[in-house]
């Protein structure tokens, strides 16, 4: 259902930039001040990820791309990479949940070499930045938090509005999408499964994709699914406006599957994976990584989502 931009991919690695010389993919997106702002994952040849910044006035053509990363590893917890950022605006603050890939504490270098990935963990990291600092490229991110320590967890997004005075967080402990709550975005509680894999295209696991987008019909919830053959696709659901833990519609099939050469072939083949989408002039822009190698965009009118959902 999503229409690919004919100029895809819109972002590719820059070989002259050591920090993004190998891969760029999985970008958060936010529409502010008449621009789409992208906070994208970039990886070097040492397989360590950080975040780069780019922006677009029309949502398709990149007008600005910074030559240096804006966010990266700073401790043992994320020393192996900061991955897959999302951007959620609440008031004058942008919350940035991401996946922190690091070493287990006090494991020791000898054990890390011996046991390799058993000595590492990918967990949810969370930071924030003011809208003003973000727009003016003052990268004064707040202290990082790791709310569910040492639990293998990814694909975290935050509802852009509080529900009954509480933050609502969606995250993925494989293979399900979970929902939980927080009073301060540091301590999370009441974890419950909200969505489980259903169709063949998402049989292996599912995870939250873009930040939820508020519409008059419900919260548009764009997520990814992985088949048993390890093909990554993009689907969507609508969450109830009055109760954002309730799924009022879930599309039975994907709305974007890997099809183009750059989506089928790359570091991880057969992947389309989103971390960000924006609503601009009635059109939904979905930004996605293809084959974990480059970044593209695909669009559809918001009314098309309503039509498919019968809303």
For residue range 295-305, what is the model confidence (pLDDT) as tens digits? Answer: 999 999 999 99
Q: Is the pLDDT of residue 117 over 80?
A: no
**Residue 289: φ, ψ to 5°:** -90, 140
pLDDT (0 to 100) of residue 5: 98
Tell me the C-alpha distance between 26 and 290, whole Å. 8
Say whether pLDDT at 54 is over 70. Answer: yes
pLDDT attached to residue 307: 97
Half-sphere exposure of 57 (CA within 13 A, CB side): 2
| Mean pLDDT score across all residues of the chain | 95
* The pLDDT of residue 110 is above 70: no
Query: Following DSSP, what letter does each residue of 166-213 receive, concatenated?
Result: BEEEEEEETTEEEEEEESSSSSEEEEEEEE---SGGGSSEEEE-SPPE
Residues 23 and 45 sit within 8 Å (Cβ to Cβ): no
- Cα 294 to Cα 26, 190, 311, distances in angstroms: 8, 37, 34
Residue 103: pLDDT band with limits 50, 70, 90 = confident
Position 114 pLDDT exceeds 70: no
Chain centroid offset of residue 131 CA = 19
Cis bond before residue 9 (omega within 30° of 0):
yes
Please check the confidence at residue 78 and state whether its pLDDT lies above 60: yes
Report how far residue 298's alpha carbon sits from residue 287's, in angstroms, rounded to the nearest whole number.
Answer: 7
For 280, phi then psi, to 5°, come to -135, 115
d(CA 209, CA 273): 7
CA distance 125 to 96: 8
| pLDDT for residue 137 is more than 80 | yes
Lookup: tokens for 100: 């922190």
Lowest mean pLDDT among 142-156, 196-210, 217-231: 142-156
Of 114 and 132, the structure prediction assigns the larger pLDDT to 132
| Domains of the chain, start order | 13-309 (2.115.10.20)
For residue 150, the model assigns a pLDDT of: 87
- Say what the pLDDT of residue 266 is: 96
pLDDT at residue 109 greater than cutoff 90 = no
25-34, 112-121, 280-289: range with lowest mean pLDDT: 112-121
Question: What average pLDDT does this structure show over 156-179?
Answer: 97
The 10s digit of each residue's pLDDT in 232-288 is 999 999 999 999 999 999 999 999 999 999 999 999 999 999 999 999 999 999 999
Compare 16 and 119 and report the one with higher pLDDT. 16
Torsion angle of the four alpha carbons 56, 57, 61, 67, in this order, in degrees rounded to the nearest 10: -30
pLDDT of residue 23: 97
Supply φ then ψ for residue 202, to 5 degrees: -130, 25
Give the pLDDT score at 104: 77
**Residues 174-182: what's their mean pLDDT?**
97
pLDDT at 49 over 70: yes
pLDDT exceeds 80 at position 115: no
Kindly indicate the confidence band of residue 293, based on its pLDDT and cuts at 50, 70 and 90: very high
DSSP 118: G
Residue range 15-29: mean pLDDT, rounded: 97
Specify the pLDDT at position 107: 58
């Amino acid at each position: 259902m999503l229409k690919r931009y004919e100029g895809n991919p819109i972002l590719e690695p820059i070989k002259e930039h050591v920090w993004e010389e190998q891969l760029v993919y999985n970008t958060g997106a936010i529409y502010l001040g008449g621009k789409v702002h992208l906070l994208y994952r970039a990886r070097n040849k040492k397989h360590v990820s950080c975040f780069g910044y780019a922006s677009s006035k029309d949502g398709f053509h990149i007008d600005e791309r910074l030559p240096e990363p804006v966010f990266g590893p700073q401790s043992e917890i994320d020393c192996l990479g900061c991955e897959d950022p999302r951007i959620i605006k609440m008031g004058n603050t942008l919350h940035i949940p991401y996946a922190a890939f690091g070493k287990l504490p006090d494991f020791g270098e000898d054990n890390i070499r011996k046991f390799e990935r058993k000595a590492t963990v990918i967990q949810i990291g969370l930071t924030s930045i003011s809208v003003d600092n973000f727009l003016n490229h003052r990268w004064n991110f707040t202290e990082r938090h790791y709310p569910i320590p040492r639990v293998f967890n990814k694909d975290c997004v935050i509802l852009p509005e509080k529900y009954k005075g509480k933050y609502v967080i969606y995250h993925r402990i494989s293979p399900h999408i979970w929902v939980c709550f927080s009073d301060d975005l540091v301590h999370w509680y009441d974890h419950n499964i909200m969505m489980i894999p259903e169709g063949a295209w998402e049989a292996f696991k599912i995870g939250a994709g873009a930040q939820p987008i508020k519409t008059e019909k419900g919260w548009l919830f764009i997520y990814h699914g992985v088949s048993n053959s390890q093909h990554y696709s993009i689907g969507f659901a609508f969450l109830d406006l009055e109760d954002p833990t309730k799924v009022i519609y879930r599309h039975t099939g994907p709305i974007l599957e890997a099809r183009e050469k750059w989506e089928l072939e790359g570091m991880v083949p057969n992947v389309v994976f989103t971390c960000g989408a924006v609503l601009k002039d009635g059109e939904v822009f979905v930004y996605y990584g293809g084959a974990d190698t480059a970044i593209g965009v695909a669009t559809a009118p918001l009314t098309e989502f309503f039509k498919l959902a019968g809303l």
